[in-house]
C-alpha cells in the first residue's frame, strides 16, 4: 500500500532549512555571495565518499510492484524521482516531477496530483510567441514549487523527424530554431521559480518504437545542424540545470554512455556546466557511463542494476573511475542547485492537496497559450467565426460535450476532479486517456444564441442525420497519442475519417476541430467548410476552442511542423524497429538511418524532394488578412539583420507571424531554405507594425566537423519574407556576405 507522508515530511523539513541558512565559517558553501562553482568546490571537499555516491543516485518515488519497489519515505508521493539531501551539509533533497505541461503524476497513482495543464508542447510552439512559452513555464514551475518539487523534468525538444512519433505532442516541432527558442523560453520560465528544469531527451530519441534500444545512425555534421542545434538553442536560451540523456543508442552507444554526445558535444564543445541525468531505465553500466559523461542515474529501479550506487563506489575505490570524475559529477549537480537557487529558496512540503494554488489564475495562463496555439487551416466562405444568424449547431464526437483530450504517458497532468471521461484507453501506463474538464460545447453555449445538440459520433448515420438538420456542424477528430508508442499511420484513429466524411456530405457547413498529437492527413478536406487544428489545449481548452469558433479570439497559430499528404512523402515511409517485437536479442539489432534526410527535416525535406505537403510548416489562416512589407536585410556582425513590417489589411484586430527564410544562392546547404527568424505582431484592423529579426550565423553556415566551426561561405544569400514555408514569398532581398567562420557555439 502507498503511504502518504505529508506529515512526517512537514516535521522533518524545518531541520533542513536551518542547515541551509547556517552559512558560517565551517560551511562556506552556504555563503550565497560566492559563485556557484566556488560553493560546489567547497561542498564537494566536505563530503564523504558515501555522501557523494548518494548525490548521484536517484530513486523512483512511486511504488513499483513489478520490481518490489516501495515509495521512498522522504520522496514526494507518486512522483518521478528523489535524491536524498544531506542535512548535515545543508543540502536539500532533489524532488523530481514530470513534465512539460505541468505537474504530472506517475500513472500508477490512485490519488493523482490535480494540477493545471498547459496545452501540449507542440501547441505552445504553434503560438510562435516566446512570451507565452515563458509565461506557461513560469506557471507550471510555480505549481511544481508549490507541490514540493525542485526539479521539473520538462524541456522536451526532440525534433519531429517522424510525424508518427507518439511523443511529438511533448516537443517543439520540426525546426531547430523555432523549437529551440520556444522550448528554451519555457525552461527559462520554469527556472524563474528557483527550481531546476531539464532539457530532454538527449538526443535523437525521435520515435518511440523500440526506443530503448534502437540505434540511430547519424553523421556528426547532420546531427549538429538538426537535433543537436535545437538542443543547443534551447540550452542557450533556457540554461536548463540538467540534460536528460535518452533511451536510444546513437552510432552504436547508448545515449547515457555516449562519449561523443555527453563529453565531447555537450560538455567540451558547448561548455555545458550543468549535470546529465539518465532517462528512467536508460543507464546501462557503471564504468562506461561514468567515464563517458553520465552524472546521475535516475529512477532506480527502472534500470537493471543500481549502477551508480555501491558499484560506482567500488569502481572509485578500485580506481576504475577516478575520484575526480565522481567529484565532477557531484560538483555539476550541486553547483546547479546553488546556481538555480534551490538551496536558498527551499521548496516546502505542501500542507494541503491543492497546495494553495490559484487554479483560476493559472487556468487563464494556460488558456491564453491555447488560444494562440489553435491553427485555422481552412475557412471556406468564411464559415468561421460562427455567424450571428446561425440558429442550430450540431456538435459531434470527441467527447466535446464534456472535455478536451490530452496526451498520455509520464507527462500526463490530471485535472481537478479527474478525467471528464473516465475509464477510456489502457488502464495503466501510458493510459488512461485523460480529458480535461473544459467542455467546448459548454463553453460555446455561453457565447452563442444558437441551439446546440450533441451526438457522440458512434453511430455515423445518426450523426449525419443530426448534421443534416442543423445550420452548422462542428465535428471533433481526436487522436490520442502517448509516450511508448507511435501511430501506425497519419489517419485519425477508428472510424473518424468516415464519420467526418459522412457529416460533411450531410451538411457542407462542417467545421472540423482536430485534437491531435501532431500532423494527420485529411481525406475529407475538400468537402468540409473549415478546419481548426487545436492540438491538446490543456486545462481551459474548451474555452479556448469556443472563443476561436465564436470569433472572440482571432486565430493566430501557425503550424510548427509540416502536415504531409501521405506517408510516402516521408524519409522513412515505414518506421524502423518492429513495435511488436518483444525479444530483446532481436530488438538490439534494430537500427534507423537518420542520414537519409540528415539535417533536412520537415519542410527542408519537402523542399529538397519537391513534395507538396497537405499543409506547409508555418501555415495558418486568420479571420483578418495581413500584408508583409518593407523587407530589408543587411549583414550585421556575423549574422544578418532583417527588418520588415506587417499591415493588418482586414476588418478585425489580430496577430500575424512574419517568417523570415534564408537561402544560400551558391547552394551547399542540406536544403534550399532555412527559417532564419520570425516575429509575431498584434495589430488592430488597419494598423501596421515593424519587426526586426537577427539571423544567427549558424543558420547561415554549414558545420565543419574537422575544425568544429561553422563556415559561412562568401556569396549571395536570399532573404525572403513569407506566410509559411510553402507560400510564395511576399518579398525577397539579396544580401552579400564575406566568408566567415564562427566557433561551435556560433561566436
Burial of 346 (0-12, 13-18, 19+ CB in 10 A): buried
| Binding track over 258-287 against ligand BGC, x by CB under 6 A | ---------------------xx-------
Least gap, CB of 651 to ligand BGC (angstroms): 45
Phi then psi dihedrals of residue 35, to 5 deg: -70, 155
Least gap, CB of 121 to ligand BGC (angstroms): 12
- Is 353 in a helix, a strand, or coil? coil
Residue 280 or 678: the one with the smaller Cβ distance to ligand BGC is 280
Q: Which three cell numbers stand for residue 44?
A: 564537494
Which DSSP string do the residues of 27-53 spell out, in sequence order? -GGG-TTS-HHHHHHHHHHH--HHHHH
Residue 277 or 474: the one with the smaller Cβ distance to ligand BGC is 277
Residue 64 or 260: the one with the smaller Cβ distance to ligand BGC is 64
Residue 120 or 410: the one with the smaller Cβ distance to ligand BGC is 410
Cβ atoms within 10 Å, residue 287: 15
Residue 251 or 484: the one with the smaller Cβ distance to ligand BGC is 484
Place of cell 540523456: 245
Chain-centre distance of CA 611, in angstroms? Answer: 27
Residue 297 or 410: the one with the smaller Cβ distance to ligand BGC is 410
Least gap, CB of 323 to ligand BGC (angstroms): 29
Residue 98 or 371: the one with the smaller Cβ distance to ligand BGC is 98
Least gap, CB of 198 to ligand BGC (angstroms): 7
> Residue 665: CB partners within 8 Å, gap ≥ 6?
715, 716, 717, 718, 734
Of the candidates 710, 729, 716, the residue with the CA atom closest to the CA atom of residue 224: 710
H/E element, 503: helix 496-506
Least gap, CB of 431 to ligand BGC (angstroms): 14
- Answer yes or no whether residue 200 interacts with ligand BGC by CB under 6 A: yes
Strands (DSSP E) along 135-255, which ranges? 151-152, 196-202, 215-217, 242-245, 249-250, 253-254
Least gap, CB of 709 to ligand BGC (angstroms): 33
Residue 100 or 676: the one with the smaller Cβ distance to ligand BGC is 100
Over the range 158-190, which residues count as b (16 or more CB within 10 Å of their CB) and which as e? bbbbbbbbbbbbbbbbbbbbbbbbbbbbbbbbb
Least gap, CB of 60 to ligand BGC (angstroms): 8
- Is 520 in a helix, a strand, or coil? coil
Residue 210 or 659: the one with the smaller Cβ distance to ligand BGC is 210
- Answer yes or no whether residue 153 interacts with ligand BGC by CB under 6 A: yes
For residues 330 and 39, give the distance between their C-alpha atoms in angstroms, rounded to a whole number. Answer: 12
Residue 79 or 116: the one with the smaller Cβ distance to ligand BGC is 79
For residues 486 and 505, give the distance between their C-alpha atoms in angstroms, rounded to a whole number. Answer: 31
Place of cell 534551447: 234
**Per-residue three-class SS string for 3-29:** CCCHHHHHHHHHHHHHHHHCCCCCCHH
Cβ atoms within 10 Å, residue 634: 12
Choose which of 80, 225, 384, 467 interacts with ligand BGC (CB under 6 A): 80
Least gap, CB of 336 to ligand BGC (angstroms): 17
- Is 383 in a helix, a strand, or coil? coil
Least gap, CB of 166 to ligand BGC (angstroms): 11
- Answer yes or no whether residue 410 interacts with ligand BGC by CB under 6 A: yes
> Residue 452: CB partners within 8 Å, gap ≥ 6?
392, 393, 395, 441, 444, 445
Residue 19 or 155: the one with the smaller Cβ distance to ligand BGC is 155
| Binding track over 643-672 against ligand BGC, x by CB under 6 A | ------------------------------
Which DSSP string do the residues of 112-170 spell out, in sequence order? --B---PPPHHHHHHTT-HHHHHHHHHHHHHHHHHTT-SEE---B----S-TT-TTGGG
Q: How many residues bind ligand BGC (CB under 6 A)?
A: 8
Q: 651 and 551 in contact (C-beta within 8 Å)?
A: no
Residue 280 or 710: the one with the smaller Cβ distance to ligand BGC is 280
Residue 407 or 440: the one with the smaller Cβ distance to ligand BGC is 407
Choose which of 78, 98, 143, 162 interacts with ligand BGC (CB under 6 A): 98
> Residue 498: CB partners within 8 Å, gap ≥ 6?
460
Residues that bind ligand BGC (CB under 6 A): 80, 98-99, 153, 200, 279-280, 410
Amino acid at each position: 500500500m502507498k503511504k502518504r507522508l505529508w506529515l512526517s515530511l512537514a516535521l522533518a523539513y524545518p531541520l533542513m532549512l536551518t542547515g541551509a541558512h547556517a552559512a558560517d565559517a565551517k560551511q562556506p558553501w552556504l555563503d550565497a555571495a560566492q559563485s556557484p562553482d566556488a560553493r560546489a568546490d567547497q561542498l564537494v571537499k566536505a563530503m564523504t565518499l558515501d555522501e557523494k555516491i548518494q548525490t548521484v543516485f536517484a530513486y523512483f518515488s512511486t511504488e513499483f510492484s513489478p520490481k518490489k519497489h516501495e515509495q521512498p519515505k522522504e520522496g514526494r508521493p507518486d512522483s518521478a524521482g528523489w535524491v536524498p539531501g544531506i542535512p548535515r551539509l545543508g543540502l536539500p533533497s532533489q524532488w523530481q516531477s514530470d513534465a512539460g505541461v505541468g505537474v504530472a503524476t506517475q500513472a500508477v497513482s490512485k490519488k493523482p496530483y490535480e494540477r493545471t495543464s498547459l496545452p501540449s508542447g507542440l501547441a505552445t510552439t504553434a503560438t510562435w510567441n516566446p512570451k507565452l512559452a515563458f509565461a506557461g513555464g513560469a506557471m507550471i514551475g510555480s505549481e511544481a514549487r508549490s507541490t514540493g518539487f525542485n526539479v521539473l523534468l520538462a524541456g522536451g525538444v526532440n525534433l519531429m523527424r517522424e510525424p508518427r512519433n507518439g511523443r511529438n505532442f511533448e516537443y517543439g516541432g520540426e525546426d531547430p530554431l523555432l523549437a529551440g527558442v520556444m522550448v528554451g523560453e519555457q525552461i527559462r520560465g520554469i527556472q524563474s521559480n528557483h527550481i531546476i528544469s531539464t532539457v530532454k531527451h538527449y538526443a535523437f530519441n525521435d520515435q518511440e518504437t523500440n526506443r530503448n534500444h534502437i540505434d540511430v545512425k547519424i553523421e556528426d555534421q547532420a546531427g549538429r545542424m538538426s537535433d543537436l542545434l535545437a538542443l543547443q538553442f534551447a540550452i542557450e536560451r533556457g540554461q536548463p540545470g540538467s540534460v536528460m540523456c535518452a533511451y536510444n543508442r546513437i552510432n552504436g552507444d547508448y545515449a547515457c554512455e555516449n562519449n561523443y554526445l555527453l563529453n565531447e558535444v555537450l560538455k567540451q564543445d558547448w561548455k555545458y556546466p550543468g549535470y546529465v541525468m539518465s532517462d528512467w531505465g536508460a543507464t546501462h553500466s557503471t564504468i562506461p557511463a561514468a567515464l563517458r559523461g553520465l552524472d546521475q542515474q535516475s529512477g532506480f529501479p527502472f534500470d537493471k542494476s543500481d549502477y551508480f550506487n555501491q558499484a560506482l563506489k567500488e569502481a572509485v575505490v578500485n580506481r576504475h573511475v577516478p575520484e575526480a570524475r565522481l567529484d565532477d559529477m557531484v560538483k555539476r549537480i550541486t553547483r546547479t542547485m546553488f546556481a538555480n537557487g534551490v538551496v536558498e529558496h527551499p521548496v516546502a512540503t505542501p500542507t494541503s492537496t491543492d497546495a494553495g494554488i490559484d487554479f483560476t489564475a493559472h487556468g487563464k495562463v494556460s488558456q491564453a497559450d491555447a488560444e494562440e496555439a489553435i491553427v485555422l487551416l481552412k475557412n471556406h466562405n468564411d464559415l468561421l467565426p460562427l455567424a450571428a444568424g446561425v440558429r442550430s449547431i450540431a456538435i459531434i464526437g470527441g467527447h466535446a460535450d464534456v472535455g478536451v483530450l490530452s496526451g498520455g504517458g509520464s507527462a500526463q497532468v490530471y485535472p481537478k476532479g479527474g478525467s471528464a471521461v473516465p475509464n477510456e484507453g489502457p488502464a495503466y501506463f501510458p493510459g488512461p486517456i485523460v480529458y480535461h474538464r473544459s467542455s467546448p460545447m459548454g463553453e460555446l453555449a455561453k457565447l452563442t444564441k444558437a441551439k446546440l445538440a450533441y451526438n457522440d459520433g458512434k453511430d455515423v448515420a445518426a450523426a449525419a442525420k443530426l448534421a443534416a438538420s442543423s445550420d452548422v456542424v462542428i465535428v471533433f477528430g481526436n487522436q490520442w497519442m502517448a509516450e511508448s508508442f507511435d501511430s501506425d499511420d497519419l489517419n485519425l484513429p477508428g472510424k473518424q475519417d468516415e464519420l467526418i466524411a459522412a457529416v460533411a456530405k450531410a451538411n457542407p457547413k462542417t467545421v472540423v476541430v482536430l485534437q491531435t498529437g501532431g500532423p494527420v492527413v485529411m481525406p475529407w478536406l475538400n468537402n468540409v467548410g473549415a478546419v481548426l487544428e487545436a492540438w491538446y489545449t490543456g486545462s481551459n481548452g474548451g474555452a479556448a476552442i469556443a472563443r476561436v469558433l465564436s470569433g472572440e479570439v482571432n486565430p493566430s497559430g501557425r503550424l510548427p511542423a509540416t502536415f504531409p499528404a501521405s506517408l510516402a512523402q516521408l524519409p522513412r515511409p515505414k518506421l524502423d524497429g518492429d513495435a511488436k517485437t518483444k525479444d530483446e536479442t532481436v530488438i538490439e539489432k534494430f537500427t534507423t538511418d537518420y542520414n537519409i534526410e540528415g539535417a533536412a527535416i520537415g519542410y527542408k525535406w519537402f523542399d529538397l524532394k519537391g513534395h507538396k505537403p497537405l499543409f506547409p510548416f508555418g501555415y495558418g489562416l486568420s479571420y483578418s488578412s495581413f500584408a508583409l512589407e518593407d523587407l530589408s536585410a543587411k549583414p550585421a556582425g556575423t549574422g544578418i539583420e532583417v527588418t520588415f513590417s506587417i499591415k493588418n489589411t482586414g476588418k478585425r484586430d489580430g496577430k500575424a507571424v512574419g517568417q523570415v527564410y534564408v537561402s544560400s544562392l551558391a547552394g551547399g546547404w542540406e536544403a534550399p531554405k532555412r527559417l532564419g527568424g520570425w516575429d509575431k505582431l498584434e495589430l488592430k484592423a488597419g494598423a501596421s507594425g515593424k519587426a526586426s529579426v537577427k539571423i544567427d550565423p549558424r543558420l547561415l553556415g554549414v558545420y565543419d566537423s574537422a575544425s568544429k566551426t561553422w563556415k559561412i561561405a562568401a556569396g549571395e544569400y536570399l532573404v525572403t519574407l513569407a506566410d509559411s514555408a510553402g507560400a510564395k514569398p511576399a518579398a525577397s532581398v539579396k544580401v552579400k556576405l564575406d566568408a566567415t567562420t564562427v566557433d561551435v557555439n556560433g561566436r
